[in-house]
Structure 1
Amino acid sequence: MKRPSVLLLAIGLAALPAMVAAQIGLPGVPGAGAVIDRVMKTLTLDQIEGADPVNLADRLVDARLARIDALVSRHRDLIERDERDEPAVRGVLLVTGASAEQIATATRGGFAVIGRETIAGIDIDYHMLSVPAGESLARAIKRARKLLPGAEVSADHLYFASGPAPSLQAAALAATGRVKDSVNSSAIGLIDGGIARHPALTGRVEQSGFARGAPAPSAHGTAIASLIAGRGAIRGASPGTPLLVADIYGSDPAGGNAVAIARALGWMTARKVSVVTMSLVGPPNPLLQRAVGAARDRGVAIVAAVGNDGPAAPPAYPASYPGVIAVTGVDAKNRALPEAGRAMHLDYAAPGADMRAGAVNGATARVRGTSFAAPFVAGRLFAHYARPNPAARAAALARLTGEARDLGKKGPDKLYGNGLVCGDCATK
């Protein structure tokens, strides 16, 4: 990865929030989010809205690089870069598709098996190997790929939903209980931070932790939840719908990793969730790709935001995986957000600016970013697809496209996808 100059780093640090996640201007989750919050300054929403698009794109590129530097430098004991300079869990390799003989070869090469798992709900098998002492993650990946031809070897990459945050000490976790499983009820799945108690969230909520210290209340997760199922001060796209929430961050600086997301997808698949939304971005990862594919094969519709790292950033994942419903954001005048990232494809746009969402203190907060567009699409899709059924998913998406408002060039385009969903859902 090309490193920015000291001057560009200084500009990025002074001017832009940490936007690995698909959101801007909202409190983040504990752990990784809190780490970045202490290092990065905040570009106000007014500054973003008034910025020159070309200048903003350059600053977003600088900020992405600075953000990764900040995170790795503050947690070198837990996080390091892979061979592509992406942040990942230190000293850990993920291996899928390897035979027992190949794993034995890896152990003779100095790697140690620290875990083997079949992820419940999606039946994905993988091994977790430790990197030999003194060897970098980047070098270990290259060496392991030579030792294990045909297998998929990668780091346990990190995916983030973080931003400038006030203290969350006063936030209380939303009351949680089991969401009933029956042919007459279902829930929308949310993979993010935990959600806080909020008066707009009156429906049933079940939360489970997939990281140290999880579930814990987060501002990002709470805002997303309110835009899905809120009632009252914040009205979501599917008011009162039960939520199944997977907190993949907790208090762990290395939370939000590929393994945590894959396990969360397995949990939701096993619980017969039909729609899962993720406002997270990061690099491609073989284990995550397999998990996404396995969940989709079982009927899950996965919605993901394209991120806010700008059009010059690498394609965002999981939004870029085949079959994942990629969502971008627009402002109150239906203009595409200039900070929106990109994916290998784009399916829909939804409101992502000039609006409010639920805050962890029980009030509301102004929000902006593609993070807040994805839950609107998930909520509307759930109206057409309440039970997982691979044979019915295409028809449900066709109905969702039928209610979308065509923007830009006639028909599907690269700026708005199939059109604007839930255009009147934003709480002004």
Structure 2
Amino acid sequence: MPATTQVLGTIAALALAAGLTASPAAADVRPAAAVPPPALSTAPAVSTAPDDAAPAPEEWQPSGPAGLTGPVSEVLADAPERGPVRVVTLTADSAGRPEVSVTVAEDRGEAAEAVQDARAVPDTLAIAVDSKVSAVGGASPLLAAGTASAAAAWVDDAYRGAQWPLNTLSAESVWKSATGAGQIVAVVDSGVDAAHPDLAGTVLSGTDLVVDRGTGQSDPNGHGTHVAGIVAAKAGNGVGIAGLAHGAKILPVRVLDADGSGWSSDVAAGITYAADHGATVINLSLGSPGSDPMVRSAIDYALAKDVVVVAAAGNSAQDCSKVSNPYPGENCGNPVNYPAAFPGVVGVAATDSADARAAFSEYGSYVDVAAPGVRVRSTYPSSRYLDMSGTSMASPYAAATVALIRAKFPAMSAAQATARLTGTARDLGTAGRDPYYGAGLVQPLAALSGPSGEAAPVTAPAPTPATAPTPAPVSTVTGLKVSATTVTAGQSVVATATVRTSSGTGITGTAQLCSRRVTARAYSCANVAVRDGIAAKSLRVDAGTYVYARFAGTATAKASTSAAVRIHARPKATVAGGRGKLSFQVYQPRRQRVSVQRYHRGAWRTVKTSAASSTASRTVSGLSRGTYRVVVAASADLLTVTSGKTAVR
């Protein structure tokens, strides 16, 4: 049986845009002519997000132990009958952050084994089958966008007159109080075109989880760039449009491919990444009818880190009588949309220029607020601008409003900012909260007006010191890098710790480098000397290992701890062929399943299976002539490995 492939990752979901797009592959949208850009072309100065992720909040706990008990068939209920199955497991790393891994099994049989293997690992918190999400139903109808009169003089952006949502939200008056400066809005989407002239210098260096490399600063679909412009396109630069929170920064986290779809595991990883890299607001203009435990756990983690999570309510509200081949709850009716429906997430419905609910906007108890989402003009890749419709466009207006609130009232918690967002919304529809508009249309001007709701600090009389006070110890930041994050078992890596003050000055003192195998619970620590902010130590890696650095502190410098780094290890496998047989040896054996494979008719096919043991070598007999190899399956602390090829005579 062919071995599974272990890859690290973290529902990639359907981009919820309905309307106009220049990309025929974009999800849930209908192509139309793009708006020509105003003449301007400048290279952006790209900012950089923090390199070191913050430690996990102690109060975070996964939402529930999904898939850990009961029949394996229940876990695989939604798995495809044929072809590869992606089995997703949730664990917590040494710092307590959620960590998602994906095992790609070749069929349901191997997937069942992967589930059993994951259940055998003590630290597993949840197991599920990854789900692929694609467009459901046709494009939502587009309504004519009116242009209301502005309450204040408009900024001079070329397309400001076409931005009716900014009129509805009194943008120019809002900007007298706040622009979102100091806030980071994570756009978990299809990437963001950082080279767009209206986003120059606004897009931080993020991550690309679709191709497992890159910074998320490109967008082959266009959806994420449109969302980002709604939030933070430059205002008053005479170019294009203006973002509602144009003083904020955008953290791009790419989880959707060029067609606007992807995997739930990547969305979960993207949310965790955003929470660990400084986001104060996370926008999720994506969705699926399925409730994924990994995504929910990632959202719970972000909420525990005081991040506001905002998501599109969905575009699939359609009359089933008007749909050919209707499947109520899937391509028509009013299916529940996740992640908007998860507890703690701000679910956003879409309205038109007359403040009426857009016909496509899904509804239900999970809708918290409404925002403009019909014929919204925003940025698009290659310096273009485009009108699009969908709850995907409404969600970033709500996210931008949260950024404005948190910029104006920086002491507010995420829960307080969310309460202010909903508490100042203008009631629409049935009096009071309803399933179509939630609390009502977001009102950034009202949200920024009045007191923050927090008690004013009481200032006590300053005592007269008898002697000069002792200076307080300075804060420090400890970081850790290793010379390699994937090695062959038995190799060594160099772990280098850096300890600096917040101003960048190197510290001299003592630090500890601590490590443990991924299957162990306790760390082993060794003291190392820190000189001018640097300490290094060689570590032998015999299995998957976590490493972190801890500065003990001095009389003048506070203690600090780095984020943990995971080092992956793969065993070494050798193979030798003979007459009708082959011999193999696995270094660092864990009794892993070993598949003996023969190359036949253009593909590798498993002909026998064995197990890796502690004996010097194992021999497999009764083999036909041909080219062979062995594949050693992954264990709890070792990656899978494939040997070189050998000939059997």
Q: TM-score range by the shorter chain?
A: 0.5 to 0.7
Is 289-298 or 359-368 further displaced after alignment? 359-368
- Give, in angstroms, the shift of residue 382 of structure 1: 0.9
Distance 1:128 1:223 in 2: 30
Unaligned runs of 5+ in 2: 1-12, 34-75, 140-180, 319-332, 446-649
Would you say 1:219 and 2:222 are equivalent positions? yes
Shift of 1:270: 1.6
- Inter-partner Cα distance in structure 2 for 1:268 and 1:148: 27
Aligned: 1:352 with 2:373: yes
Are 2:191 and 1:194 aligned? yes
- How far did residue 124 of structure 1 move? 1.4
Q: Which residue of 2 aligns with 1:23?
A: 17
Cα contact 2:350–2:361 (8 A) shared by 1: yes
CA distance in 2, matches of 1:280, 1:28: 19
Task: Tell me if the contact between 1:89 and 1:254 (Cα under 8 Å) persists in the aligned partners.
Answer: no
Any conservation in 2 of the 1:329–1:340 contact (CA below 8 Å)? yes
Alpha-carbon RMSD across the aligned residues, in angstroms, is 4.1
Question: Which sits farther off after the overlay, 199-208 or 343-352?
Answer: 199-208
Identify the residue that residue 272 of structure 1 maps to in structure 2. 278
Q: How high is the TM-score relative to the length of structure 2? A: 0.44
Q: CA deviation at 1:306?
A: 1.2
**Within 1, Cα distance between the matches of 2:108 and 2:19?**
39
CA–CA separation in structure 2 for the residues paired with 1:386 and 1:315: 32
Which residue is equivalent to 2:246? 239
Residues 41 and 274 (structure 1 numbering): CA distance in 2 closer, same or farther, change over 3 Å?
Answer: closer
Superposition pairs of residues 150-189 of structure 1, within 5 angstroms: 152-159=126-133, 185-189=182-186
Q: Does 2:362 correspond to 1:341? A: yes
Aligned to 2:315: 308
2:231 — aligned with what?
228
2:297 match: 290
Pairing 1:80-91 to 2, within 5 Å after superposition: 83-84=77-78, 90-91=84-85
Q: 1:248 to 1:327 in 2, by over 3 A?
A: same
Deviation at 1:185, TM superposition (A): 3.1
How many residue pairs match? The answer is 324
Alpha-carbon distance in structure 2 between the residues aligned to 1:356 and 1:86: 39
Shift of 1:267: 1.9
C-alpha contact (below 8 Å) 2:20/2:32 kept by paired residues: no
Q: Provide the rounded CA distance (Å) in 2 between the counterparts of 1:356 and 1:225.
A: 12
**Residue 373 of structure 1 aligns to a residue in which SS?**
helix
Per the alignment, do residues 142 and 361 of structure 1 end up closer, same or farther by CA in structure 2, a change over 3 Å counting?
A: same
Post-superposition Cα deviations, 1:175-215, rounded to whole Å, max 9, x if no partner, equal xxxxxxxxx83311110011223232244212321111753
Q: 1:290 to 1:119 in 2, by over 3 A?
A: farther
Following the alignment from structure 1 to structure 2, what is the Cα–Cα distance between the partners of residues 127 and 388?
Answer: 38
User: % of aligned pairs identical?
Assistant: 25
Whether 2:256 is the aligned partner of 1:249: answer yes
* 1:362 and 2:375 matched: no
Question: What corresponds to 1:93 in structure 2?
Answer: 87
Distance 1:331 1:262 in 2: 31
CA offsets 1:205-232 (integer angstroms, 9 cap, x no match): 1232111175332310111011000135
Secondary structure at 1:385 match in 2: helix
SS of 2:427 mapped into structure 1: coil
SS in 2 for 1:296: helix
CA offsets, 1:315-363, max 9 Å, x none?
1111111000000101111111111124551111000013312222323
Distance, in Å, in 1 between the alignment partners of 2:121 and 2:182 is 45
Task: Report the alpha carbon displacement of residue 264 of structure 1 after superposing the two structures with TM.
Answer: 1.6
* Distance (whole Å) between structure 1 residues aligned to residue 340 and residue 209 of structure 2: 21
Q: Which residue of structure 2 lines up, in the alignment, with residue 124 of structure 1? A: 98
- TM-aligned CA deviation for residue 394 of structure 1: 2.6
Deviation for aligned residue 1:374: 0.3
Q: Which has the larger radius of gyration?
A: 2
The answer to whether the 8 Å contact 1:124/1:291 transfers is: yes
**Alignment partner of 1:412 is 2:386:** no
Counterpart AA for 1:263: A
3-state secondary structure, aligned to 1:189? strand
Deviation at 1:388, TM superposition (A): 12
Q: Quick check: 1:258–1:288 contact (8 Å CA) kept in 2?
A: yes
Q: Secondary structure at the match of 1:375?
A: helix
- Seen in structure 2, the aligned counterparts of structure 1 residues 28 and 346 have a Cα distance that, compared at 3 Å, is farther
Shift of 1:96: 3.5
Amino acid at match of 1:372: M
Give SS of 1:268's match: helix
Q: Tell me if the contact between 2:377 and 2:387 (Cα under 8 Å) persists in the aligned partners.
A: yes
